[in-house]
Amino acid sequence: MNAIAAPAVSRATVLRRDEFVAHLHGLVPVGDVVHDEQGRHVYAGDAFGAYQALPLAVVLPATVREVSQVLRYCYEVGLKVFPRGAGTSLVGGAVAAEDGIVLCLSRMNNVLEVDPVNRMVRVEAGITNAAVSTAVAGLGLRFAPDPASWQASTIGGNIATNAGGARGMSVGATGRHVLALKIVLVDGEVIELGGGELEASGLDLIGLVVGAEGMLGVVVEATLRVVPEPETRRLVVLGFQSVLSAVACAGKILSSVIVPTALEVLDREVIAVCEDFGGIGLPRDVEAVLVVEVEGSAEEAEQLGAAVLQAADAYAPVGHLEIADQAQVARSWATFNAAFTGLGRLGTVRCVDIAVPPAKLVEAMTEIGSIATRYGLRGASMCRAAEGIVRSVLLYDGSNSEDIGRVADAMADVARMCAQIGGVLAGEHGVGVAKRDVMSYQLAESDLVFGMRLKSTFDTEWLLSNGKVYPLADQVVQSAVV
């Protein structure tokens, strides 16, 4: 059962499925078309889990030309198209509709060019974040953005949501590392934005596309900035008897001369899941831990680690753990990144992903916990202290209609709280369908209308990623105006 309303489905379109599939087969001789029911079920949902829809068909193009031909055909016949990468979206961003097709770019996963002198790499959109770094690792380089799903998520998806990561405070989100894009518009036209310049002139059209969640066009290629890999990384893990103390300590570190690459606060529930999954030595008898990462030469990292401990001393941490072995550092981050997956073993997970002013972190995390309690739900939270990113989950029984209703009400309360304290709802995972109908709590009607008018400029019939990002009722009105 979907906990979120789906757009109206055109039954006339559904009845023409065989016709559409036959034509699509002829457009992707190198790629493939999945049209059997079992095969389509694989693409019915994404990591969000609470919202699914069986698409008419799934098209897996292998070339830009095939993407262009498919989009041109769908534009001509009025068929909805839902771009998809690895399906790691936690907000339903990759879910299609019964009267639309999935355009999955997973076969377009090649490295097209590596330029170590200018520290650039050109790739197809279906390549994973991890594979980009692997392609340049032998040159001592890496692709810096590191979302928790970096091993599986694709560059196309990272661009669609402007994905960040644990090291976002030091390297920024995906958009800072995109130099050029090749995009296929809804009518099949192929355009190129940006270039090899570090600072492009004119309008920042790349900035318009990054974070647009596939609403304006389909990214098929990207030229990305890559950066040198640090000599070493070091983790300092500090235990605290309250989330307030952990966040306050993070603020002290930020205001000192120390420049960490990551600052993560994990609450008791997340600590337990991390230890059950990875057994990396986190203390279980504390209310929160603060994970601080520093990098540099071995000597620099050791000195920075000592400075972190000195800065934290005033907040009376309950013990600490230092991790200098590089394999153990990598294992620790893999464990932290898998926390949400581990929480999924305890029930159906609804991700709360918001960004608030760092000074409001404790208030936001406390209020989310209170909201969970008020609705009889179990909650868990972690945050990126420097950026004010709160990543919480609400656990519930996805087969229980009452639980589904309570989660919807809880999410509305979270949205109101976020807006009241000056936060934003998109966080790191985007809007998709999960936050679509609460965006009015954050954005004024004029903001929503402007965004929808921009969407209509690129996609008059709203065929791309239909039903996402903007409240459904507003989408219907906007489509009627167009």
Domain boundaries, the chain: 11-104, 111-228, 232-338, 347-438, 443-481
Question: What percent of the chain clears pLDDT 90, i.e. is strictly above it?
Answer: 66
How far is Cα of residue 20 from the mean position of the Cα atoms in its chain?
31
Q: Which residue has tokens 């989660």?
A: 407
Long-range interactions of 373-379: CB distance < 8 A, separation 24+? 374/410, 374/413, 375/406, 375/407, 375/409, 375/410, 376/406, 377/403, 377/406, 377/407, 377/410, 378/269, 378/346, 378/347, 379/269
Residue 89 CB partners (closer than 8 Å, separation 6+) = 46, 47, 48, 95, 157, 161, 429, 430, 432
165-191 pLDDT, tens digit each? 888 888 889 999 999 999 999 999 999
Backbone angles phi, psi at 461, to 5 degrees: -95, 5
The answer to whether residues 227 and 142 touch, using CB atoms and an 8 Å cutoff, is yes
Question: What percent of the chain clears pLDDT 70, i.e. is strictly above it?
Answer: 96
d(C-alpha 58, C-alpha 432), whole Å: 19
SS3 call for 102: strand
Enter the DSSP assignment of 463: -
HSE, side-chain direction, 13 A CA sphere, residue 70: 35
Q: How many CB atoms lie within 10 A of CB 280?
A: 18
The predicted structure's pLDDT at residue 153: 94
- The residue among 237, 93, 209 whose CA lies nearest residue 153 is 93
The predicted structure's pLDDT at residue 1: 38
Q: Of the CATH numbers 3.20.20.70, 3.30.450.20, 3.30.465.10, 3.90.1150.10, which one belongs to the domain with range 111-228?
A: 3.30.465.10
The predicted structure's pLDDT at residue 198: 61
- The fold adopted by the segment(s) 11-104 is 3.30.43
Q: Do domains 232-338 and 347-438 have the same CATH topology?
A: yes
The predicted structure's pLDDT at residue 481: 53
Tell me the β-bridge partners of 351: 393
Mark the ranges of the chain whose per-residue pLDDT is less than 50.
1-2, 480
d(C-alpha 229, C-alpha 134), whole Å: 12
- The residue among 152, 153, 148, 88 whose CA lies nearest residue 339 is 148
Q: Of the CATH numbers 3.40.630.30, 1.20.210.10, 1.10.260.40, 3.30.70.2190, which one belongs to the domain with range 232-338?
A: 3.30.70.2190
The predicted structure's pLDDT at residue 477: 52
347-438 sits in which CATH class?
alpha beta
Dihedral Cα 432, 438, 439, 443, nearest 10 deg: 180
Q: Which two tokens stand for residue 381?
A: 């939270």
Q: Which two tokens stand for residue 90?
A: 């936690």
